[in-house]
Amino acid sequence: MIEVQQITKRYGQHTALDRVSFSVAKGEVLAFLGPNGAGKTTTMRILTCFMPATEGIARVAGFDCADQPMEVKRRIGYLPETPPVYQELTVTEYLQFVGRLRGLSGKVLTASIQREIERLGLGTVQRRLIGNLSRGYRQRVGLAQALLHDPPILILDEPTVGLDPKQIIEIRELIKNLAGTHSVILSTHILPEATAVCQRVVIISGGRIVAEDTPEQLSARLRQSEKISLILKTPAADTHSRLKALRGVQNVFTSGDSGTFLLECELGRDVREEVARVAVTSGWGLLELKAISMTLEDVFLQLTRHEEGLAPDSVAASVESTGQPV
């Protein structure tokens, strides 16, 4: 449904997107992950025909965004970063306006508005001015707007921002239900969200796609081995080699002489007990011993920090920073 080939977007000297390619099949939900300024919003703006790409081709539902923007716009429901609501209108008036802009009228319009009001739980506020609604309600009105004409393609820029946890779960359920019949691209900072609702994740950083896979495979890709972090108070000179000699340990990384070690072990083999015993009997002063599980969060941080991804020193660097809140 969506096909992006080698898209580049430059703002003057600044390159916001650098040869980005990806595609979304019908009924698929794709998450766009990336730090602020990575190019997520720019990509979405190109797909919704708000701005043209400097180079490259973007096709939505078989129509080129540059040549046939009207056809593309008709098939897209778009929720920008800030919900595009008019404060001086009531929820119903606003949805009527949106529907009319998209060519809905009469009974179809009324039915569509009713459907979205029910779907997003806006029943109690439908006659209130949007300006008086809370951030969460405005976000839901924004979603209702995107869904109103039942478009085959949805582009949602951070759809769950400003919602409370219960609403977040509801919206995720809603997106999951849309999958299958609708193609959805959503961007998010919240990694569990991507794991929860998406079949595929695209991690974008500095205008480039650094990884693209299913959430499970992305974490598996970086978790080719179990990792254990070890902090010793008084490591000996032979600590490194003795740790490496333990059964199941494949690799040992140290970071300077701070006593911090990272052990890479065979998959499915827990060497913590053994390591603890050796550390205690050798009098290394065991301070900390823990298994590192690679969540999508770690994958994301690593990929966006080090674009090359899996260099061993980058893993060691991330061990150093595990003590800091991320």
Partner 1 sequence: MTPVQAIIAKELRSYFVSPVVYVVGAVFLLIVGLLAYLYLVFAGAQAIQLMQVQGSAQLNLNDLVFRNLFASMRFILLIILPILTMRLFAEERKLRTFEFLLTSPIGINEIVAGKFMSVFLVFLSLLGLTGLMPLMLALFSDFDWYPVLTGYLGLVLLGALFLSVGVLASALTENQIVAAFVSIGLLLVLWLLSGLGALLGDTVLGQAVSYLSFMEHYDHLVRGLVDTKDLVYFLSSLALMLFLSHRVVDSARWK
Contact with partner 1 (CB under 8 A): which of 19, 86, 274, 316?
Answer: 86
Closest CA to 26 of 151, 184, 143, 175: 184
Question: Chain-centre distance of CA 212, in angstroms?
Answer: 11
Q: Regarding beta strands 29-33 and 183-188, do their DSSP bridges make them parallel or antiparallel, or are they unpaired? A: parallel
Of the two residues 110 and 282, which places its CB atom closer to partner 1 in the complex? 110
Q: Which amino acid is at 172?
A: R
The two structure tokens encoding residue 154 = 């949805």
Applying CB under 8 A, among 57, 66, 89, 317 the residue interacting with partner 1 is 89
Residue 217 touches partner 1, criterion: CB under 8 A: no
Which one of residues 85, 120, 168, 252 is an interface residue with partner 1 (CB under 8 A)?
Answer: 85
User: Which residue in 154, 192, 196, 151 sits closest to 172, CA to CA?
Assistant: 196
Instruction: Compute the Cα dihedral for 207, 213, 217, 221 and give only its sign.
Output: negative
Binding characters for partner 1, 102-131, by CB under 8 A (x = yes) = xx-x--------------------------
Bridge partners (DSSP) of residue 179 are 182
How is residue 76 written in tokens? 């897209």
User: Tokens standing for 41?
Assistant: 């919003």
Q: How far is the CB of 78 from partner 1 (least distance, A)?
A: 5
Q: Does residue 48 bind partner 1 (CB under 8 A)? A: yes
**Shortest CB 241 distance to partner 1, Å:** 60
Taking CB under 8 A as the rule, does residue 51 contact partner 1?
yes
Rounded Cα gap, residues 49 and 237, in angstroms: 62
Q: Is 78 in the site for partner 1 (CB under 8 A)?
A: yes
Min CB(128)–partner 1 separation in Å: 13
State which residue, 93 or 170, has the beta carbon closest to partner 1.
93
| 316 lines the binding site for partner 1 (CB under 8 A) | no
Instruction: Check binding of 37 to partner 1 (CB under 8 A).
Output: no
Between 50 and 317, CB nearer to partner 1: 50
Q: Which are the contacts of 64, defined by CB distance < 8 A and separation ≥ 6?
A: 57, 58, 72
Whether 54 and 20 have beta carbons less than 8 Å apart is answered as no
Contact positions vs partner 1 (CB under 8 A): 11, 45, 48-52, 70, 73-74, 76, 78, 80-82, 84-89, 93, 97-98, 100-103, 105, 145
